[in-house]
Chains A and B, each alone.
Chain A
């Protein structure tokens, strides 16, 4: 080769605003990218910090198992739910977890389709986050049925009882929406992993690890023919997953909006649920990305640019959510319905008013600090804001579920909702499940997509003359 491969770097580098950091800090080559990501799993010893963190979250996970065992023995009566509030924590947590998953799909599918190169370093762990969040979400409707061992009745299959599911019910739509979402997310994640597993297979020195990664890589060899079909399938999957980002939380919102309960029966629910999902999802992405880049020293791959962009997405979706709150209030007033108006007043001034005002503070007021560039570029502040948003989004679902149910049409059927320790244990337990899975994922799988990171290196590009031959 006559010409050096670096000659084209100026063209492939993106245009940067003053003070903006690039998506990949300069100095990386194909070798360094591969070696760095591989070494996190295959060369780095298990640290005490990892063990400590894993043990903590494993403890939380066991709390969930304990709570669930008691639940299976005694039934859902151990929770705070009762007529009129039949939905309580289980549905609040379900909606919260499903929402968190959405950012992963947005990053991996929609940002791929619109060719946002900055997604390449955060898509893998965001997809893992989606999978684990959907798993946590799936726990709740399952155990909320009271008899989870009969949950397969939800699926249409020929049975000796001669009974079939009711397809006009939004709860059944939800079963299909969430299970499709889980399946497509898992496929997308696995397809993305395939070439990286081959890299792991080739880089592993431990024979057992080599064999396991080899089995998972299914004989991937990077053939040009394979890559072509692979890229085709990957983009198609992204195209198929993109409408799922919008549809899953829409269907979840139908669980509420299709009913006639005041406070739920509004058309603003689908778009505002979707925006809220992406809002909380990006908050979780930051809660994971900020410690990961610190502890694993990948600041050169997950740069300030990623944090900045994620913060901007949160700011944008947060404003849509705020608009949703104001429209909810406006509809209650404009509908002329006594009951809608009462639900709003009850939310703002009733016995659970604290939850409504905390929600406004956490979700609408505090996140406005993200307008300030210094906050977006200071990871600890960004981390705290993200945690606040996650709390806020949890409260949003609490307000929607509980305040609408506890006082609806007839004052004689009003009631109050207080969560029990079993409710809290189950919720904390799913946090344990989620973070345990994340801890294992980081130690066992390439948490940054290696083959897509290679595409960001100037050396990987064809030179102009070669490409036009």
Chain B
């Protein structure tokens, strides 16, 4: 990660503000975005769609990936059955056609669901960069409450507009109950 910060002694991950309500966090996100900050992330104990929009993350590629996975699964399911029953191991069962497509529908359907489901989960984890053994945000002394009842906004040092003093002042002007620097 490149650091566009002031280049002072300890490398900074960013400045983190803590909020007690989702409203406070959303307001701060909107303000930060209006002030020109782009490299930031918000941390909440449960999903809040508006927050992701407010920090400028509006579109995810998970649905597209899932669709591709589903199509791939369906095609490979059908083609496997076709190949096995028609060319690799043809069996005459009561004179019925080798390519008995109605019999193939169920496994095609199951493979569609299976591939789409696995793609959705693996895709979500991969795009999220999980599993991730280390992340600097955990250096924040009270970050454990982000999975309980608190809301955090981190403006990262990688932001062009980032300046420790300015950004700290900016976050203190929001309804934050605490503003702290977090080491990288």
Using a CB–CB distance below 8 Å, which chain A residues touch chain B?
1, 5, 29-31, 34-35, 156, 162-168, 172-173, 176-177, 180, 183-184, 187-188, 190-191, 195, 198-199, 201-203, 218-233, 236-237, 240-241, 243-244, 247, 251, 254, 451-452, 454-455, 459-463, 466-467, 469
Contact = CB atoms under 8 A, between A and B. Distances in A.
The 6 A-B pairs with the shortest beta carbon distances in the complex, nearest first, are A218-B131, A233-B124, A219-B132, A202-B144, A30-B149, A164-B89
Nearest to A219: B132
Contacts of A165: 84
A60 B13 CA distance: 55
Contacts of B96: 168
Given A164-B89, A466-B23, A187 B121 contact: yes
B60 to A, nearest CB: 5
Contact of A240 (B45, B116, B130): B116
Given A168-B85, A202-B148, A221 B43 contact: yes
A251 B106 contact: yes
12 contacts: A31-B149, A167-B103, A168-B96, A176-B110, A202-B148, A219-B130, A223-B41, A224-B43, A225-B41, A226-B130, A236-B62, A469-B27
Given A164-B89, A218-B125, A466 B26 contact: yes
Contacts of A254: 106
Contact of A232 (B51, B63, B110, B148): B63
A156 B80 contact: yes
Contact of A1 (B24, B57, B104): B24
A73 B21 CA distance: 64
B60 A229 contact: yes
A231 B47 contact: yes
Nearest to A251: B106
B106 A230 contact: no
Nearest to A184: B117
Interface string B104-123: 10110111011011101101
B49 A228 contact: yes
Contacts of B89: 162-164
B52 interface: yes
B110 A219 contact: no
A233 B50 contact: no
B133 interface: yes
Interface in B59-94: 60, 62-63, 66, 70, 80-81, 84-85, 88-89, 91, 93
Given A219-B132, A226-B128, A198 B147 contact: yes
A436 to B, nearest CB: 27
A5 B23 contact: yes
B153 to A, nearest CB: 9
B84 A156 contact: yes
Nearest to A452: B46
Contacts, number: 209
B22 A461 contact: yes
Contacts of A199: 45, 147-148
B57 A224 contact: yes
B41 A240 contact: no
B57 A243 contact: no
A105 to B, nearest CB: 12
B62 A218 contact: no
B113 A243 contact: yes
Given A167-B107, A232-B63, A224 B55 contact: yes
A232 B62 contact: yes
Interface string B145-178: 1111100000000000000000000000001000
A228 B62 CA distance: 10
B104 A167 contact: yes
Given A177-B106, A461-B22, A220 B91 contact: no
Given A227-B52, A232-B60, A233-B120, A240 B125 contact: no
A250 to B, nearest CB: 9
A168 B148 contact: no
A230 B47 contact: yes
A172 B89 CA distance: 15
Given A167-B85, A218-B130, A232-B124, 5 more contacts: A184-B114, A199-B147, A202-B145, A223-B41, A232-B63
B42 interface: yes
B20 A240 contact: no
B42 to A, nearest CB: 4
Contact of B62 (A163, A223, A233): A233
B137 interface: yes
A225 B52 contact: yes
Nearest to B84: A164
Contacts of B138: 221
A21 B168 CA distance: 47
Contacts of B52: 224-225, 227-228
A202 B134 CA distance: 14
A148 B54 CA distance: 55
Given A227-B52, A228-B57, A232-B62, A462 B46 contact: no
A265 to B, nearest CB: 16
Q: Which of B103, B104, B114, B117 has the most CB of A within 10 A?
A: B117
Nearest to B146: A222
A164 B124 CA distance: 35
Contacts of A177: 106, 110
Contacts of A195: 46, 147
B121 A164 contact: no
A240 B113 contact: yes
A455 B118 CA distance: 27
Contacts of B175: 1
Nearest to B124: A233
A191 B62 contact: no
